[in-house]
Structures are given as structure tokens and as C-alpha cells.
Amino acid sequence: DAKTTQPNSMESNEEEPVHLPCNHSTISGTDYIHWYRQLPSQGPEYVIHGLTSNVNNRMASLAIAEDRKSSTLILHRATLRDAAVYYCILRDPLAGGYQKVTFGTGTKLQVIP
Amino acid sequence: EAGVAQSPRYKIIEKRQSVAFWCNPISGHATLYWYQQILGQGPKLLIQFQNNGVVDDSQLPKDRFSAERLKGVDSTLKIQPAKLEDSAVYLCASRPLSGTEAFFGQGTRLTVV
């Protein structure tokens, strides 16, 4: 599996934008970039995913570098509820449907009131 | 839509005892995952089912861990006998066959003393 690299931790002030980086220099052409987050004492939850183009949804935006070797999850206005561990994951849909969802150590985001 | 249900939420056992965890995935989801999450780490995939068949159990310690998914619906993960290092949160997740998003339960927190 192609690996991802994320900072261990980041801080943000409440109501400010947050940019969470992820490096994936060995990404293959068919790997999608997925982001999950895990709130304290909860299971992970899906945030967003993309392949080449930038993506937006109600939770966040995903900016993908032109060479696809890095991406950034953008939370436009951080709230205290966004304090969580954020995981960047690569998944290949051509893996016959038997896709692993393999987590690294993620980035722990602290939101300061 | 009901989420992934897991029980129990918490379990404390002594080492060398046996324990079982139960998971009921979202209705219609063909793929079911069991993960182990040790404190401070990302979730580690233990086993992946497609309907009632195992498609990946490469990281399951088969000398003590077993899992089954009879009838392709709910699943049970068993540890026998437990060791101190098995203390962790055990997460179940499910995904529809053609979907990209995995849905996680809240997990079972196991403490082995």
C-alpha cells in the first residue's frame, strides 16, 4: 500500500481556517485520497475524498496538488467540535472491491477557544 | 439510517480469560471490517469480510483471535486467551459493495488486567 505522511499534531484558533497537510509521494494513478477523522471516544468518520480535482462538501474542502504527491484538508472555520485526529488514506478502487482502509497515526488537531 | 452497532461498549477481563465482541453492520453492507486500536495509534485492520467470506486476515493473530460472519450479516470477534497487550478499542466498520465510505461503530474498549 502507498504510504502517507502527516504531522503528528496541529493547533488552530476557533473560527479560523485550518489546513491539514498530507504527503503521499508514492501515490499510484488509481489511488483516491480519502480523509477520515476520529473524535474522542468515537469511531472514525468519513470526511471527504478525491482523485485529481479539488473537492468540496459540507464538512471540508480537499485541495490536491497537481502532481498528486500531496494534498491538504481545509476546514474553513474550525470549531471546538472539530478537535479530532485526522487521517489521510489512499485507496485503490481497482483492488477488486476488496479495499483495505488502512490508517496511519494521523494528525491530532487541537482547537483553541 | 441505523449505524453500525457494537456491544459491549466496555469490557474488563483478566489475562488468559476469553472474550467476545459483537457487531451488527448497516443493513445491506457486504463488506465488514474489524480493527484494533491501541491507545495513541491509528486503527489496525485485523480482518475483512466480503459477505460471509474472509478476504483479508493477514494481521489477525490466529493463535488467539478468531472471527466469523455467519449468514453474511452480523459478526463476532473472539479472543482466547487474552493477553495484557490485547487491551485496546476494537472497532467494527461496514461498507456497501460499490461504496467508497466505510461506516464505523463506536467500538468496544477492552481492558485486560
Question: Using the beta-carbon criterion (under 8 Å), do A44 and B91 form an inter-chain contact?
Answer: yes
At residue A30, the pLDDT reads 87
At residue A10, the pLDDT reads 97
Task: Identify which of B50, B102, B106 has the shortest CB distance to residue A101.
Answer: B102
Residue of B nearest to A104 (CA): B42
At residue B1, the pLDDT reads 62
Give the gap in angstroms from C-alpha B92 to the nearest C-alpha of chain A.
Answer: 9
At residue A2, the pLDDT reads 64
Altogether, the residues listed in chain A come to a count of: 113
Q: Flag whether pLDDT at A9 surpasses 90.
A: yes
Does the beta carbon of B47 lie under 8 angstroms from any beta carbon of chain A?
A: no
Give the gap in angstroms from C-alpha A102 to the nearest C-alpha of chain B.
Answer: 7
**What is chain A's mean pLDDT, rounded?**
91
At residue B10, the pLDDT reads 97
**Which residues lie closer than 8 Å to A100 by C-beta, 6 or more apart?**
A1, A91, B45, B48, B56
Question: Using the beta-carbon criterion (under 8 Å), do B45 and A101 form an inter-chain contact?
Answer: yes
CB atoms closer than 10 angstroms to residue A55: 17
At residue A72, the pLDDT reads 97
Secondary structure (H, E, C), chain A: CCCCECCCEEEEECCCCEEEEEECCCCCCCCEEEEEEECCCCCCEEEEEECCCCEECCCCEEEECCCCCEEEEEECCCCHHHCEEEEEEEECCCCCCCCCCCCCCCEEEEEEC
At residue B61, the pLDDT reads 95
At residue A96, the pLDDT reads 55
Q: Flag whether pLDDT at B79 surpasses 90.
A: yes
Question: Using the beta-carbon criterion (under 8 Å), do B43 and A42 form an inter-chain contact?
Answer: no
CA dihedral sign, ordered B111, B59, B80, B103: positive
At residue A97, the pLDDT reads 47
Q: Flag whether pLDDT at A101 surpasses 80.
A: no
Residue of B nearest to A50 (CA): B100
Q: Flag whether pLDDT at A1 surpasses 80.
A: no
Residue of A nearest to B102 (CA): A46
Does the beta carbon of B13 lie under 8 angstroms from any beta carbon of chain A?
A: no
pLDDT digits (tens, 9 = 90+) for B86-97: 999 999 999 988
The residue with greater pLDDT, A60 or B100, is A60
Q: How far apart are the C-alpha atoms of B110 and B91, rounded to whole Å?
A: 11
pLDDT digits (tens, 9 = 90+) for B4-62: 999 999 999 999 999 999 999 999 999 999 999 999 999 999 999 998 899 889 999 99
CB pairs under 8 A between A and B: 55
Q: Flag whether pLDDT at A111 surpasses 80.
A: yes
At residue A92, the pLDDT reads 79
pLDDT digits (tens, 9 = 90+) for A74-100: 999 999 999 999 999 988 777 654 567
Does the beta carbon of B45 lie under 8 angstroms from any beta carbon of chain A?
A: yes
pLDDT digits (tens, 9 = 90+) for A54-68: 999 999 999 999 999
